[in-house]
C-alpha cells in the first residue's frame, strides 16, 4: 500500500472505469473487430460483381468507423489505462508483470493496426483497377490485426476471472491459456461480427435511397452476414457459460442488477431473450422483404447489440468479485496472501500515504476515514453512486443504528455477501471504520480527491467528534 488512494466520491471509481470501458468495447467490437472484415468482404464482393455501389457503400461505412475508432476508440483505450491505473494500480501492476510480453506484442499490433487503417482508408480511392486486389488484401490484414488485439486482451480478461493453474505454475503461457480464455474468445468473436452487421445495416438505410433496388440487396446481404454468425455466437456463449466457475455463477443475482434474485431474475432473462428475438426477427424481415422494412425498425437490432454489450461487460466485471484477479487479489487491491498479516497488524502501518498509522482515541475518526479509503473506495462512495450510507440504510433503515450490529456485519460481510472482500484490517481499525460511518450518517461529508503525503486532502472539515462532544 505504497501508493496514494484516488477517489471520485460523487460518481464512484468503478463507475468511472465502467463508462470508459463499456464505450471502448462497443466501439472496438462493432467498428473494428467486426466491421473491418465485413467492409473488406463487401469491397471484394463489389469487385467480383462489378457493382460500383458496393464499393461506395463499403467506403461510406468505413468512413464512419474510421472517424469514430481513431477518435473516441483511441481516447477510451487510453482512458482505460489512465482510470484503472488511478483506481487500482496494484491490479494493473500485477497484470503488467504477468502479461508484460503479451501487452508488448499487443501494443506493436495496435500501432500496426493504426497504420493499416490509415493506409486502408486513405488509399481506397487511389488503389483502383489492378491495384484493387492489393487494397482488398490490405483490408484482410487490417481485419486480422484488429482481431489479434482483441484476442490478446481477452486472455487478460479471462485471467482476471480464473487464473487456472497460474498460482502454482507462474508462467505467461499458463496465464494466457487460462480456463476462460478460449470460451470467451469463441463468444466475443462472433458477437463482434454480429454487432458490426447490426451497425452496418443501420447505416445502409442512411447511405442508400429507399426506391433504389440496391438498398434491398445490401440490406439482405448484411442481414445474412449477421444471421450467419448467430449460431456461432450462441455456441460460444454456451461454452463460455459452462467455463465460468460455480462460485461466480452465484454472483449472477447482483450482476444482473438486483439482489432480490427470486422473482426478478427470470423477468430480466425474459427481457433479454425477447430483445434478441426481436433483433433476429428484424434481421429475417430485412433479409426476406427488405423493401418493406421501415427504416426506424432497424434501431432495434442496433440498440439490442449496444445494450447487450454493455450489460455483458457489467456481468463479466461483477461476477468475478470479490476478486479483481480471481483467487489472487481482492477488489480492494490487497492480495489474498497479505490478509493474515494485515488482520493481525492492521492496514494503516503499511499505508505510506495514511496520516494515521494506528488507531487512537484522538484520531479514530480520521483513522476510520483512511481505512474506508483503503478498503472500500474501489467500489463504494460515501453518498454518491453505490454510496455506503444508502447501502447501510437499506439494511438497517433510517432509524438509529446499533454500533455492534454494524460492526459484526462488516466483520462477516463476506459470508453474507460473497461478492464483498473480507475486511482487511484488525479489530481496532474495524471499530474506527464503524465510528467513521456513524459520523458520516450524522454529518455527511464527501471525501474530496485523493490522499496526499500529509493526509491533508482527506481531513474532515468538521468531524463527528467536534459536534457530539462540543
Domain boundaries, the chain: 13-330, 336-469
CA distance 194 to 207: 20
Q: Could you tell me the pTM of the whole model? A: 0.85
Per-residue model confidence (pLDDT) at position 141: 97
CA distance 366 to 364: 6
CA-to-CA dists, residue 270 to 67, 247, 248, 266, 437, angstroms: 36, 24, 21, 6, 39
Maximal CA-CA distance, the chain: 87
**pLDDT tens digits along 361-390:** 888 889 999 999 999 988 888 888 888 888
Return the minimum-mean-pLDDT range out of 38-42, 118-122, 291-295, 354-358: 291-295
Q: How far is CA 270 from the centre of its chain?
A: 23
Asked if 444 and 383 touch (Cβ cutoff 8 Å), the reply is yes
CA distance 131 to 321: 52
Note the CATH architecture for domain 13-330.
Answer: Up-down Bundle (1.20)
CA distance 26 to 306: 7
Count of C-beta atoms within a 10 Å radius of residue 366: 22
Per-residue model confidence (pLDDT) at position 68: 95
CA distance 160 to 320: 8
Most confident stretch, 145-159, 203-217, 354-368: 145-159
DSSP type of residue 212: S
SS3 label, residue 352: coil
Per-residue model confidence (pLDDT) at position 264: 43
Query: Which three cell numbers mark 313?
Result: 461487460
Q: Is the pLDDT of residue 261 over 70?
A: no
Backbone angles phi, psi at 324, to 5 degrees: -95, -30
Q: Is the pLDDT of residue 250 over 70?
A: yes
Amino acid at each position: 500500500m505504497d501508493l496514494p488512494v484516488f477517489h471520485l466520491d460523487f460518481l464512484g471509481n468503478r463507475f468511472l472505469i465502467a463508462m470508459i470501458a463499456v464505450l471502448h468495447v462497443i466501439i472496438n467490437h462493432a467498428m473494428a473487430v467486426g466491421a473491418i472484415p465485413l467492409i473488406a468482404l463487401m469491397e471484394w464482393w463489389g469487385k467480383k460483381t462489378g457493382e460500383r455501389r458496393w464499393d461506395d457503400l463499403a467506403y461510406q461505412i468505413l468512413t464512419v468507423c474510421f472517424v469514430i475508432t481513431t477518435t473516441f476508440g483511441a481516447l477510451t483505450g487510453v482512458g482505460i489505462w489512465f482510470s484503472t491505473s488511478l483506481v487500482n494500480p496494484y491490479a494493473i501492476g500485477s497484470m503488467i508483470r504477468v502479461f508484460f510480453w503479451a501487452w508488448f506484442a499487443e501494443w506493436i499490433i495496435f500501432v500496426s493496426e493504426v497504420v493499416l487503417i490509415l493506409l486502408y482508408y486513405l488509399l481506397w480511392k487511389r488503389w483502383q483497377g489492378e491495384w484493387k486486389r492489393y487494397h482488398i488484401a490490405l483490408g484482410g490484414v487490417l481485419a486480422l490485426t484488429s482481431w489479434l488485439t482483441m484476442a490478446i486482451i481477452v486472455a487478460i480478461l479471462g485471467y482476471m476471472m480464473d487464473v487456472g493453474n497460474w498460482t502454482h505454475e507462474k508462467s505467461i503461457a499458463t496465464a494466457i491459456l487460462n480456463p476462460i480464455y478460449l470460451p470467451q474468445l469463441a463468444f466475443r468473436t462472433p458477437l463482434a461480427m454480429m454487432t458490426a452487421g447490426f451497425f452496418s445495416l443501420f447505416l445502409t438505410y442512411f447511405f442508400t435511397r429507399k426506391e433504389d433496388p440496391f438498398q434491398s440487396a445490401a440490406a439482405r446481404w448484411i442481414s445474412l452476414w449477421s444471421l450467419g454468425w448467430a449460431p456461432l455466437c450462441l455456441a460460444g456463449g454456451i461454452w463460455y457459460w459452462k467455463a465460468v466457475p460455480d462460485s461466480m455463477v452465484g454472483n449472477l443475482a447482483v450482476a444482473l442488477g438486483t439482489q432480490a434474485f427470486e422473482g426478478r431474475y427470470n423477468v430480466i432473462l425474459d427481457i433479454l431473450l425477447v430483445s434478441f428475438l426481436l433483433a433476429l426477427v428484424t434481421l429475417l424481415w430485412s433479409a426476406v422483404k427488405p423493401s418493406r422494412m421501415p427504416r426506424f425498425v432497424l434501431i432495434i437490432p442496433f440498440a439490442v447489440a449496444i445494450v447487450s454489450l454493455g450489460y455483458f461487460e457489467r456481468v463479466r466485471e461483477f461476477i468475478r468479485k470479490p476478486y479483481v484477479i480471481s483467487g489472487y487479489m481482492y477488489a480492494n487491491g490487497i492480495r489474498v496472501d497479505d490478509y493474515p498479516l494485515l488482520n493481525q497488524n492492521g492496514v494503516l502501518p503499511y499505508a505510506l500515504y495514511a496520516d494515521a498509522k494506528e488507531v487512537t482515541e484522538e484520531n479514530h475518526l480520521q483513522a476510520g476515514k483512511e481505512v474506508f479509503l483503503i478498503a472500500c473506495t474501489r467500489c463504494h462512495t460515501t453518498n454518491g453512486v453505490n454510496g455506503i450510507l444508502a447501502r447501510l440504510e437499506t439494511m438497517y433503515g433510517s432509524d438509529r443504528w446499533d454500533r455492534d450490529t454494524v460492526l459484526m456485519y462488516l466483520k462477516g460481510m463476506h459470508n453474507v455477501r460473497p461478492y464483498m472482500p473480507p475486511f482487511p484490517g484488525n479489530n481496532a481499525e474495524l471499530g474506527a471504520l464503524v465510528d467513521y460511518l456513524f459520523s458520516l450518517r450524522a454529518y455527511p461529508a464527501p471525501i474530496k480527491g485523493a490522499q496526499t503525503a500529509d493526509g491533508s486532502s482527506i481531513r474532515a472539515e468538521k468531524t463527528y467528534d467536534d459536534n457530539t462532544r462540543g
